[in-house]
Amino acid sequence: MFISKSLGTNKDGNLTIGGADTTVLAKTFGTPLYVFDENLIIENMRSYKESIDTYYDGRGIVFYASKAFSCKEMARIANREGLGLDVMSGGELFTAQTADFPLDRVCYHGNNKDFEEIQQAIESGVGRIVADSGEELQLIDSIAKTLNKKQKVLLRVTPGVEAHTHEFIQTGQIDSKFGVTLETGAAFDVIDKARKLENIEFAGLHSHIGSQIFDEEPFICAARLLVGFMAKVKKELGINLYELNLGGGFGIKYTKEDKPKPYRTYMQDLIAGLCRACDDFKVEKPFLMVEPGRSIVGAAGITLYTVGGVKNIPGIRKYVSVNGGMSDNPRYILYEAEYEALLAEKPYEEGTETVTIVGKHCESGDVLIKDIKMPEIERGDILAVLATGAYNYSMASNYNRVPRAAAVMVRDGVPRVIIKRESYEDIVRNDI
Ligand code: LLP
């Protein structure tokens, strides 16, 4: 069994994604190549949206966190599926704008938005801006004033819940560059002062507790702390906070060890926890927002490479070099992230030797997968690294002046290019 339902094999025994033969994709579009299965992306989007419809009477919205994989076609797909978009830079917003995304369904984030970005957001009519501090609230207010607008905002708070992949802890977590702390009273003070700001509509709170999380408990815990805080704000300041954004963070299956639950189950549990907290604190159920990124697009993507040199250092290690690396997937060098890989022409063949798959960059840490058991690999083989749909293209670079790879979306077996491969001309375009 493969780790993602997007993957399969065809009559020639070749690996397929979304029904398309990966060897044909590699031949047609070249490598390295990002390939996405649109059906799985849509299925994931729907499971979030339908959870809110089913378990919360549709009183909420799902923002696709575009940082996971931002491009015009992803904005169009999110739009068709009725999702909103989470953006956190002028560039991500511009992508949404150029894809004609309805901007009232955009939520604008960031711990350090500059003046021009806030202006761009308000001018273009984004539905919500998540303010990161009291100072930024004032800046948003003053820019909205000059534009003669009233801007809906949420305040990012750190609820004191920190989640990691396999555990979570309730901590002060005061030491964060994001948001305003609940427990020191800082968030309360910001909201108190925000009452004077005439050009903002202060709608509610936002929190994001981490990423690649498998346990729903920290989300429920954060929701409870936030609802408790909403009750305090209502009681002591008479302010009704009526929107709550619980961020993103649900995990995906990178390797066989990862065991995410269906996203519907996470959402059902999270919503149940939220409703319990609202009952306990006697708070009206807020309009709910979530911002999944990785869990929408991560498992739906793979990267195809062509194998180059294979170098065996007896007794030490066997290196398999591919024609990409940290420029298209920096997640090993950043986080020692783990991946699985398959050979496109023999995906079912048992691994017989342990190899380390490395890129072509001038850096020893340029590793894609350390110590993976693979069948015999030769120069010219097409290698698929799995579950690369999130935070790969979006964190890609031109290190060593390597052009960024193309991205292809497959729908029912039919591929289409959604991002062109960069050329050497693109590489020198801004050089003077
Ligand atoms: N909302 C906010 C405010 C966020 O900061 C993030 C991710 C998300 C939503 C989406 O989280 P997701 O559902 O994708 O976990 N580069 C790292 C991941 C950084 C996540 C940053 N924030 C990686 O490659 O693992």
**Which stretch of DSSP H or E encloses residue 61?**
strand 60-65
Structural tokens at position 186: 């800082």
13 alpha carbon to ligand 1 midpoint, in Å?
36
Give the model's pLDDT for residue 225: 96
pLDDT of residue 226 exceeding 70:
yes
Q: How far apart are CA 143 and CA 8, in angstroms?
A: 52
pLDDT in tens, 7-47: 999 999 999 999 999 999 999 999 999 999 999 999 999 99
Q: How far apart are CA 186 and CA 188, in angstroms?
A: 5
Q: What percent of the chain has pLDDT over 90?
A: 94
- Cα angle: 309, vertex 311, 314; to 5 degrees: 170
Give the model's pLDDT for residue 282: 97
In this prediction, residues 400-426 reach a mean pLDDT of 98
Of 63, 206, 211, 246, the one to substitute when testing ligand 1's pocket (max ligand atoms within 8 A of C-beta) is 211
pLDDT in tens, 146-166: 999 999 999 999 988 888 777
In this prediction, residues 297-306 reach a mean pLDDT of 98
Catalytic residue among 107, 221, 278, 362: 362
Give the model's pLDDT for residue 172: 56
Do the Cβ atoms of 63 and 84 come closer than 8 Å? yes
Peptide linkage before 347 cis (omega within 30 of 0): no
Q: How far apart are CA 208 and CA 159, in angstroms?
A: 9
In this prediction, residues 394-406 reach a mean pLDDT of 98
Which residues contact ligand 1 via a Cβ below 6 A? Answer: 65, 67-68, 86, 109, 208, 211-212, 247-249, 291-295, 331, 390-391
Give the model's pLDDT for residue 168: 80
Give the model's pLDDT for residue 220: 96
E-only strand ranges, 281-431? 287-290, 301-313, 317-322, 341-343, 353-358, 367-374, 382-386, 406-411, 414-419
Structural tokens at position 301: 């993507």
210 alpha carbon to ligand 1 midpoint, in Å?
7
Residue whose pair of structure tokens reads 């498998």 in the numeric block: 214
234 alpha carbon to ligand 1 midpoint, in Å?
30
**Which stretch of DSSP H or E encloses residue 202?**
strand 200-206
Contacts of 262 (CB under 8 A, 6+ apart): 47
Of 92, 291, 334, the one to substitute when testing ligand 1's pocket (max ligand atoms within 8 A of C-beta) is 291
Q: What percent of the chain has pLDDT over 70?
A: 100
Architecture per CATH, domain 38-295, reads as Alpha-Beta Barrel (3.20)
* 107 among known catalytic residues: no
Q: Where are the domains of the chain?
A: 7-30+300-428, 38-295
Q: What is the residue with the minimal CA distance to atom 22 of ligand 1? A: 211
Fold of the domain spanning 7-30+300-428: Lyase, Ornithine Decarboxylase; Chain A, domain 1 (2.40.37)
71 alpha carbon to ligand 1 midpoint, in Å?
16
In this prediction, residues 102-130 reach a mean pLDDT of 97
pLDDT of residue 173 exceeding 80:
no
Of 176-180, 271-275, 407-411, the range with the lowest mean pLDDT is: 176-180
In this prediction, residues 297-318 reach a mean pLDDT of 97
pLDDT band at 373 (very low <50, low <70, confident <90, very high): very high
Give the model's pLDDT for residue 297: 98
DSSP class of residue 260 equals P
